[in-house]
Amino acid sequence: MTEERPRSSKARYVDGAIILAVALLITCGHILALSHSSLRIFSRLFDIFLITFLTLLAISLGERLLKLLRIETVSYLERTVFAFGLGLGTISYLLLLLALSHLFYSIAIFVLLGLLFIISLRPMVSWLSAFPREAKGALRELKSFWLILYIALAIITIATVIIRALLPPSDWDTLMYHLPVAKDFLKAHTIIPFYDNPGANFPALLQLV
């Protein structure tokens, strides 16, 4: 069995530049889509890009916190799951703190996410570098029919969710309080009560984004 050579730093920089270029393209398209309805697809792509970024950020931030707390795990998957939950919770409570401090401005949110990105950059690179190797190792261990079926169903589910994300919002929760409430919070720069919309008074954490 041949040993895989680690990717050179130059290749990583090229990959990073490509990802950054795609991210900028999608972001610019999203901004243009706000005034040109024909470019609405970029808004949907921006949503997918944002949730992907937040997922990676949560995992990376969680990785740094796990290392800081000296918490050991038995596998890459277990560590990723714990890191994701820990990182997502941290981001959520920081957003809540921002809102409770009457600092819930778009620029403040971007600055916060930018700072968290800088803090989590090294763990993010390490996690992404290890992902292909760990994924290949996991695939080699697939011997159970039910496990293969489970993974296939998970892939189908994820693909369905991505396709659904490309469509305009239409479900009740999104239209009644997820989107309008976040918009009103942003206008007020803090969390405000909604007396005519009970669902809007649920604890708001990551949905503040």
Q: Per-residue pLDDT averaged across 48-68, rounded?
A: 90
Residue whose entry in the numeric block shows the structure tokens 């693909």: 159
**Higher-scoring residue by pLDDT: 5, 121:** 121
Question: Which pair of tokens denotes residue 116?
Answer: 């968290």
* Cβ pair 54, 91 in contact under 8 A: yes
Q: Per-residue pLDDT averaged across 144-172, rounded?
A: 80
pLDDT reported for residue 2: 44
**pLDDT at residue 1 tops 50:** no
Question: Which pair of tokens denotes residue 42?
Answer: 């970029």
pLDDT tier at 48 (50, 70, 90 boundaries)? confident
Tell me the average pLDDT of the chain. 81
pLDDT reported for residue 63: 94
pLDDT tens-digit map of 182-206? 888 888 998 888 888 777 777 667 6
Lowest mean pLDDT among 39-53, 61-75, 90-104: 39-53
Q: Which of these, 58, 49, 52, lies nearest to 124 by C-alpha position?
A: 58
Question: Which pair of tokens denotes residue 10?
Answer: 């130059």
Distance separating alpha carbons of residues 173 and 3, to the nearest angstrom = 50
Report pTM. 0.79
pLDDT reported for residue 9: 61
**pLDDT at residue 11 tops 70:** no
Looking at 80-177, which runs of residues are DSSP E strands? Answer: none
